[in-house]
Amino acid sequence: MRALRIALSALAALAIIAVIVMAVVGSQTGVLIAGIGACWLVCAAVMSWDLGWGLALAMLAGMGASAYLANQHIAVLCGDASICSVSETFDCDKVNTSSYSELFGIPVALYGLGFYFAAAYALVMRRLGRGKLGGLPRVLVVAGLGSVAYSALLAWVSHTMGTWCLFCISMYGINALLLVGAALALRTPSLLRPAQPTAEGSFASTLVGMGGDRTVPVMLVSGVVVFVLCIAVYNSKKQNLNCGADTQDPAALAEFYHLPAKGTVELSGSEPQYGNSNAPYLIVEWADYACPWCAKAGAGAKELVSDNPAIQVRFKHYPLSNKCNEFVGSDMHPTACEAARATTCAGQQGRFWELNDLLFKNQTYQSSEDIQFMAKQIDLDLDALQACMDDPITHERVKTDIAQADAVDITGTPTFFIKGLFGDRWVQVRSRPEAMQALIEAHAAGIILKEPGPAPAREH
């Protein structure tokens, strides 16, 4: 056992050195990957010396990752990229804004915060010898099995999307450490010093709080309290979100836009338009109908047009599915291609925006039958709609939007470009409608904006 402790401690020290080396050479991806490895190894090393404190440390690390992802769930609304969005393969923001990042409308990260706090609190109380927590090993085994199973589900989702969240991966390892530590404690309860009498009764009775053991009530109450508090803080931050929309500082506004990564925006002339066709400010939006943030950002862009007749919005398709998009590695959103064809055909009947809005409002119901039902609600000719959707020309129109997106290096949705701030030159907006409004209002007020800089470099 002593040899294992020394080996884990040495590996943890080497991992920390690797983090420093990666920082010196300037590899952000390297720093994050080495940092995650260092976190796992430090927690494992501490667990080898004192299982209770080591598990508590792992749970605190899980709380930190959960808190960051929950905060970034809001920050991404303003276009603030997370530190772990470093490449097409490792993009926390893409994962953190997918439909799988929320459960019942609440970010999954907030559930993680409550869970990790409950486990950490019980472990600390047990280590300090407070409370009747003899059944803690049993409860932690069940919690560990559940967390590892959920980690496997999320890993499968990331594999399907073709994009991974490094902070999520860090929590996969933490959950594995929890399960291993819980299994060790179940086999040898004395490892969670100081020793406490094993909870009376069966495994099941411990989990429902019978036999005088207080493990479940302690974890349940502490976890729920923290979960509720976190929801309150999250909702408050979200409601008071500003995104710097009131700034008139050119330097601050320059953070919201940059030149296209390559090429320039090309318009085919067939794009659906919203607003005055002669408006001096033109916004082009690339979106996917199964993308949650596309629904929110698209609705915000339309509100800009409603509030300001000097703005026009044009819509382009970028379905995140390899059924029609050759630049996407997986079938991330299986219904997205069909939805794109449907709205294209609805446009031929003068109902593009009506079907567009319905699809964004019903992102979990976009099967062929659902699309037909929605089309019926807005009085579309269903036979003509289906014939149009089956027409190869419609497929090519969607492919044209996708090709034009690739020409400016678009890899995700939503993506916005604006023309009118710098003459006929296009700039990509790194944030959301609030920032677009600030840019347009500042320009219209005569404020001289800074020349757009190059697109931020991303590792591949």
CA gap 173, 178 in Å, rounded = 9
CA gap 384, 376 in Å, rounded = 12
CA gap 347, 344 in Å, rounded = 5
Task: Indicate the pLDDT class of residue 280, thresholds 50, 70 and 90.
Answer: very high
Which residues, at least 6 apart from 138, have a Cβ–Cβ distance to it below 8 Å? 186, 199, 203, 206, 207, 215
**Any idea which residue has 């796992």 for tokens?**
40
Establish whether the linkage from the previous residue to 414 is cis, with ω within 30° of 0. yes
Which residues, at least 6 apart from 133, have a Cβ–Cβ distance to it below 8 Å? 122, 125, 126, 196, 213, 214, 215, 218
HSE-up of residue 223 (Cα within 13 Å, Cβ side): 20
In this structure, are residues 78 and 435 in contact, taking their beta carbons and an 8 Å threshold?
yes
State how far Cα 39 lies from the chain centre.
22
Dump pLDDT digits (tens) for 346-403. Answer: 999 999 999 999 999 888 889 999 999 999 999 999 999 999 999 999 999 999 999 9
Q: Which residue has the higher pLDDT, 17 or 209?
A: 17
pLDDT in the model for residue 460: 43
Domain 50-239: CATH class, spelled out: mainly alpha
CA distances from 151 to 94, 215, 236, 244 (A): 17, 24, 29, 36
Dump pLDDT digits (tens) for 208-263. Answer: 555 567 888 889 999 999 999 999 998 888 777 666 555 678 888 888 899 998 99
Average pLDDT of the chain to the nearest whole number:
87
Which residues, at least 6 apart from 399, have a Cβ–Cβ distance to it below 8 Å? 324
Maximum C-alpha span of the chain: 79
For residue 11, count CB atoms less than 10 angstroms from its CB and return exposed for 0-12, middle for 13-18, buried for 19 or more: middle
pLDDT in the model for residue 100: 75
The CATH number of the structural domain formed by 250-444 is 3.40.30.10
Residue 101 has pLDDT above 90, yes or no: no
Looking at the chain, which residues constitute the CATH 3.40.30.10 domain(s)?
A: 250-444
If you write DSSP's letter for every residue of 306-336 in order, what string do you get?
HH-TTEEEEEEE--S-TTT-TT-SS-SSTTH
Q: What is the pTM of this model?
A: 0.66
Dump pLDDT digits (tens) for 129-141. Answer: 877 777 888 889 9
Compute and round to an integer the Cα radius of gyration of the chain: 26
Task: Indicate the pLDDT class of residue 269, thresholds 50, 70 and 90.
Answer: confident
DSSP H helical ranges for 76-165: 92-96, 108-127, 136-161
Looking at the chain, which residues constitute the CATH 1.20.1440.130 domain(s)?
A: 50-239
Q: Which residue has the higher pLDDT, 35 or 411?
A: 35
Residue 457 has pLDDT above 80, yes or no: no
pLDDT > 90 in the chain, percent? 53
pLDDT in the model for residue 196: 65
